[in-house]
Chains A and B, each alone.
Chain A
């Protein structure tokens, strides 16, 4: 679009400049000829004034004409005609003309009758064979006739800066050539009235325009010499006139073609050396983003900057990979350590359990024995968490389902319940819970199931215990149900027993809420937010 705009603007400007140039030449040629004709007119009027003022006779007239022709060579000849058209005096002197009658010359009649200066049509002089124009000035007693050779017009044309590539053409009012590059045409009085440009000019349509002249496309600038009604036409072949414009347009066209070709070549090389390497680089960054630091794609042959970028990216990827390896190694070491800690805690708790179990065997008092028994269960519950932690992939969380199943199995395996029939119903979702919530929750489950089994067997030998745990949004809901007899809810809320007291403290620790109700059995429901 920019190129097209430049082309259009150039076209307009250069055309304007060419048009102006040729119109100036046509106008100046016209002005020069007008000036020449005005000089002729002035001299003619001066002669008529002289003869009007002094009519001393033919000798005086002859002398005046001789002097004028000598001083003003534009006049080929001068004649004074009387009122009948008879030649009274002529310069240069020609005895055969003196006394001849010129009344049939059209210019004589007009000048004599109309009393105004008349310019004749051009003609080939019968005396010189040269192109000539006659001018007739009314005077006393008849008419002054001057013959002017028009070879001078060509000289004026050449003087007026008509360059070699321009043609100056002047025609008379009939369209006969007066000035033309081919002098034969002038001698032959070639008529070009039929040409559009001359016809228009003689009809008064002057200007600068492109037209067809004798089969050629030309730029023509026209002007009219009003004194004689001659057409001045400056012609320039369109090709020459707009040579500069055409060469500029050609250059622009070549530039467009070259830039197009260059674009294709650049696109080809860019694809190989720029676009493809960039996409390989993009592929590599995508792999890095996905954590794949090893399978790095080589960018191939490309520019230095892209190579530099690629090398830096490769270096960055290797650095990240190295640091990740270090972190993994450190983490692995830490995990091992934590597992070892959990293992040792579990072993220590196992040792405590063994000691307490030995002590339990030596006890006789049932109340003490029960208390001991409960504490053994509580420690087991804690140990079980640590066991699960060191054997699970995660060192922070345990699977609550696995843990509760293990816990219930432990409780059912206890010696004191061997003679009872217990029907556990477990509905536990697979949920991961961290150690801070898993241990209190395990102890709460232990306490509540122990309580259900302990008091349930007081009334029946077939105890049904249900354990439910599920996730409700961000909360964990734990439900324990048995078919035992009811007890006073105040007993549960007052936490007067050790078991209930532990439960309330632990519920508070995990920021939960526990409710008790009796509905064909004891029902406990605990709800807390999962951390």
Chain B
């Protein structure tokens, strides 16, 4: 009897053990699955030109957005919900812009940060308004985008404000009277608008736009010929409304000709690429832009430190704008009540920026101070006051 009991008991124990193990397994799975149920993330989209020859400045903007999202998530997210950033590359193509925003919309984003180029923002305008999807651009400034009560917001001052200040600076500080202009029509919405506003302000002050030269940056361009044409009418200054690389290449041509003509650049050129590719002549370039201080005690200075630590490169203004966009959007999402649309939150509140408290006007344009900048010792610096006593 003892042996029989032994065999039966063994089988019985084995069966019980299997059952217990199965039970433990099921309980462990349930426990793990319950542990994995974390807060639903808030999806934010980013759209910008990340590839191609002109893609580098937008990658800096994207990096700024990423850094801000990382900081917000590290601080506990937005009301405990982490930010999930969805990045799309519009390749600088106007037809691609609404497509990538559609992908964001289908993914269920709360808002889109982008586009980084005015032409792309303009191309996406109809889509975001039709779908009432808030779009906050860090860098778009074309007037075409302003003056509309819609779902498009921008952190950057409008072209009219920027170009008017640049025109005033050129006329009053640099004493320019005859300016030749080079315009990249690949981003016509922005560049032509900038030129027209500059021209209006400059001519109003008494200056003269002696020639206008248009090109498309995606073509195979000969900057030697372009430079020759630009100086053909003997201007005392140049206005280059183009991206940083092209502005740098124009500066190189001026350097080669050993000229001493100041260049008014657009804020589209205010990137590190301009300094690295432009050679010594970048110190002859002046740009109406934003942000004044790089001091460490200033939030912008702190941001630069953080960005450099995170991406091991200098951020430039694009990175700061990207960071600020995400930071302001997060503040708005924090403030948003259940019945409020995000647009109303942005319009009805003020937000902490790097250097100033920011508000948006009824058309979604951030109200912020504009400063003139140039390059000294490989860095963008505020020129207000510095040009006093210079040859300009």
Contacts and interface: CB of A to CB of B under 8 A. Distances in A.
Interface stretch (B181-189, B193-201, B245-253, B350-358): B245-253
B313 A271 contact: no
Contacts of A260: 14-15, 18
A174 B60 CA distance: 13
A499 to B, nearest CB: 70
A468 B24 CA distance: 86
Contact of B56 (A189, A267, A268): A189
Contact of B50 (A187, A267, A271): A187
A174 B313 contact: yes
B311 A174 contact: yes
Nearest to A174: B312
A490 interface: no
A264 B12 CA distance: 8
Nearest to A102: B279
A121 interface: yes
Contact of A191 (B51, B63, B280, B281): B63
B216 interface: no
Contacts of B273: 126
A95 B253 CA distance: 11
Contact of A193 (B89, B252, B278, B310): B310
Given A187-B50, A188-B55, A191-B66, A263 B10 contact: yes
Given A102-B279, A189-B55, A275-B4, A96 B89 contact: no
A124 interface: yes
Contact of A126 (B50, B277, B378): B277
Contacts of A279: 1, 4
A96 B253 contact: yes
B224 A95 contact: yes
Contacts, number: 113
B7 A271 contact: yes
Interface string B211-234: 000000000001110000000000
B89 A184 contact: yes
B38 interface: no
Interface in B1-19: 1, 3-4, 7-8, 10-11, 14-15, 18
Nearest to A124: B56
B222 A96 contact: yes
Interface in A119-136: 121, 123-127, 129
Nearest to A107: B276
B256 to A, nearest CB: 4
Contacts of A264: 11, 14-15
B386 to A, nearest CB: 19
Interface in A259-295: 260, 263-264, 267-268, 270-271, 275-276, 279
A101 B252 contact: yes
A275 B3 contact: yes
A272 to B, nearest CB: 11
B53 A126 contact: yes
Given A96-B223, A106-B276, A184-B51, A194 B70 contact: yes
B350 to A, nearest CB: 31
A175 B311 contact: yes
Q: For B70, B87, B277, B312, which residue has the most chain A Cβ atoms within 10 angstroms?
A: B312
Contacts of B4: 271, 275-276, 279
Contacts of A189: 50, 55-56, 59
B56 A123 contact: yes
Interface residues of B, number: 46
A99 interface: yes
B52 A101 contact: no
A173 B311 CA distance: 9
A105 interface: yes
Interface string B253-296: 10110000000000000000101111111100000000000000
Given A173-B312, A174-B312, A267-B10, A103 B52 contact: no
A216 to B, nearest CB: 14
Interface string B371-387: 00000001000000000
B51 A104 contact: no
B279 A104 contact: yes
Contacts of B245: 126
Interface in B285-318: 310-313
A497 B135 CA distance: 155
A335 B254 CA distance: 152
A46 B52 CA distance: 33
A25 B301 CA distance: 43
A85 interface: yes
A392 interface: no
Contacts of A101: 252, 255, 279-281
A257 interface: yes
A330 interface: no
B224 to A, nearest CB: 4
Nearest to B282: A104
A129 B62 CA distance: 18
Contacts of A193: 310-312
A85 B279 contact: yes
B360 to A, nearest CB: 29
Contacts of B70: 194
A105 B276 contact: yes
A100 interface: yes
B190 to A, nearest CB: 20
Nearest to B310: A193
Of B8, B70, B276, B313, the most chain A CB neighbours within 10 A belong to B276
A188 B50 contact: yes
Interface in A3-60: none
Nearest to B52: A129
A191 B311 contact: yes
Interface in B29-56: 50-53, 55-56
Nearest to B226: A96
Given A101-B255, A102-B279, A126-B277, A188 B59 contact: yes
Contacts of B53: 124-127, 129
A99 B259 CA distance: 13
A188 B51 contact: yes
A106 B379 CA distance: 13
A345 to B, nearest CB: 58
Chain A CB within 10 Å, residue with most, of B1, B50, B253, B279: B279
Contacts of A103: 279-280
Contacts of A125: 53
B224 A124 contact: no
Contacts of B3: 275
B256 A99 contact: yes
Contacts of B50: 187-189
A85 B50 CA distance: 30
Nearest to B15: A264
Interface in A174-202: 174-175, 184, 187-191, 193-194
Given A101-B279, A104-B277, 16 more contacts: A85-B280, A96-B249, A99-B256, A100-B249, A103-B279, A106-B276, A121-B313, A124-B56, A129-B55, A174-B313, A188-B62, A188-B89, A193-B311, A260-B14, A263-B11, A271-B7
Interface of B: 1, 3-4, 7-8, 10-11, 14-15, 18, 50-53, 55-56, 59, 62-63, 66, 70, 87, 89, 222-224, 245, 249, 252-253, 255-256, 273, 275-282, 310-313, 378
Interface of A: 85, 95-96, 99-106, 121, 123-127, 129, 173-175, 184, 187-191, 193-194, 257, 260, 263-264, 267-268, 270-271, 275-276, 279
25 contacts: A95-B224, A96-B222, A99-B256, A100-B253, A100-B256, A104-B279, A106-B276, A124-B51, A126-B245, A126-B273, A129-B52, A129-B53, A173-B312, A184-B89, A187-B55, A188-B89, A189-B55, A189-B59, A191-B311, A193-B310, A257-B18, A264-B11, A267-B8, A268-B11, A270-B7
5 closest A-B pairs by beta carbon, nearest first, are A101-B279, A187-B51, A188-B50, A100-B252, A267-B11
